[in-house]
Structure formats: C-alpha cells, structure tokens
Amino acid sequence: MVNTKVKLCGIELDNPIIPASGTFGFGYEFAELYDINILGSLSFKGTTLEPRFGNPCPRIAECDSGMLNAVGLQNPGVDKVIAEELPKLRQVFKKPSMANVSGFSLEEYVETVRKLDTVGDIGWFEVNISCPNVHGGGMSFGTSPEMAETVTRAVREVTKKPIIIKLSPNVTDIVSIAKACEAGGADGVSLINTLMGMRINLKTRKPIIANKTGGFSGPAIKPVAVRMIYQVYDAVKIPIVGMGGVSTAEDVIELMLAGATAVEVGAANLVNPYASRDIILDLPRAMEKYGIKSLEEIIGGAH
C-alpha cells in the first residue's frame, strides 16, 4: 500500500495534485464531471481587487508542444468571488483551497488578501507576482528580488495563513527572487509560471494573439521547470509547489525529486478536463513501478 499524502505549509493533503490557477475556473465547474474531492487541493482563478474583463481576443494560440494564453486575469473582482463564486465551490469541495491573488500595486495585493483572509476554507494564499507594477514603471513585481520581498512583507502583515509566492521564470536568476521571498516571510514558493512566447500568422503576417505576446505553457516547458525547482530547492528552506508541463504521474514524481512538495497541473486540464483526476488515480501505479512507498520521502530526492 503506497502513501500519497504530503504536508504543505502544515496542512495535510491526500495527494500532492493541485489544479493550477487559471486552468480550473473556480473549481465547481469541474464538479459536474467528477468528484473534485479526489484532489489534494485546487488553486482557484486568479483574483484581483477590482473586476477585470481581461485582454482583447484572440487570447489563445496553440503551439506544437503547448499553448500561449493572454487572458489577462479576467475575474469578477474579490468581492464577487467571496459573495458568489466561493459559496458555489464550498457546496462541492470540502477541503482547504488555495486563493490565487494578483495585483497591479502593493495596495491591491494587500487589500485583496485582507478581504479573502476572512474566508475560512482558504488554506493558503498563492500570490502571483508576475503582474506589472503600475506605480513602478510597469516592471513585473516578480523580476526584482527587492520588489518580491516588499510584496511578501506587505501581504504577510494582513494574514496568518500560509503565503506561497508564485514566481515568474522570465528572469535571469530565479534563486535570488525565491530567497528574497523567504526573507520577506513567505511560507513557500510556487514555480514556474508561464514563459513569455509569441506566434505569428503566416497569412496575415501579424501576431496571432491580440496582446502580441502570451504565457507559454504545456509539456515543452517541463525541463525548464525541473531545472528551476532543483535550483530553488538548494537555496531555500521553505516548501516548493512545482508546476510546468505536468501531464502524467511520472511528471509529478520528477518534479518532486527535483524538490517540489506539491505539484500543480495546468495546461493539461484544458486539453483533458479529467487530467488531474487521472494523474491522481495513476500515482499508485507509478509509485510501485519506481519502488516508492511514500511521496513525502522522495521530495528533493535527486539532490
């Protein structure tokens, strides 16, 4: 009998699988397809202080080994998420969920987390620092160790719940940013977010996505994710939520050996809505194949 349980920032999960924010809606939509309580947890749709319509269409472009998206954090705003979306999730999901939070200023991050902190069944905050800082010249919060630490410290002051900072791979040195988040009081880091990419339509000779560039995700980015998780694991003492190109139980084991405590499944959910469930059901087979009795024992096992 294998043991798939892991502990993330003090909260036990039945298994390490968490659908990634932006690929699973607010969760309840998938409950029409299967019992989502099989999941370790879920990271619900990125939430901002004010409602956002998102970027103009087209927002999605397919690639050979993945996809580009420039949805632009479309969401109804934190007040509606609390009043309308989370009660629907609560009816079908009986475990702690992960609140993915985005902001375009320090004040927005703080106020969004402060409001969501009142929701009892939120277990963790996943703070996405890949957003442009509107008061800081438009540079992403996640591209500077100083800004990453500032956001972490500010959010830390308004919640006692675990804070997991979601890191951008579009940087020269992700390790220094992870260390800055740890110094700022983060309880964990999640990585990697999408890589910046672009597609051009050969007939129109123009970018396929209206936003021109988008976030590249899918199987092609997994080697980058494995490398960055491995590097960050060596540099910090806080847990890592790994993601990037995960579509099989073997991928989960690989990211955990690199250093991940839990693993998010992203683009695979958009290809196959049962992807996260199927990976969970297949984990015992993969564990037995590689002689793994407990997933907790293999975290960072490649070091």
Residue 144: φ, ψ to 5°:
-130, 125
**Residue 174 carries which side chain, given as an amino acid letter?**
I
**Strand (E) or helix (H) holding 100:** strand 97-101
Q: Determine contact, residues 142/130, Cβ cutoff 8 Å.
A: yes
Q: What gap in Å lies between CA 68 and CA 87, rounded to an integer?
A: 31
Active-site residues, by number, are: 131
Q: What gap in Å lies between CA 185 and CA 162, rounded to an integer?
A: 10
Residue 208: φ, ψ to 5°:
-65, -40
Please enumerate in sequence order all residues whose Cβ is within 8 A of that of 87, keeping only pairs 6 or more positions apart, or say none.
Answer: none
Q: What gap in Å lies between CA 165 and CA 146, rounded to an integer?
A: 14
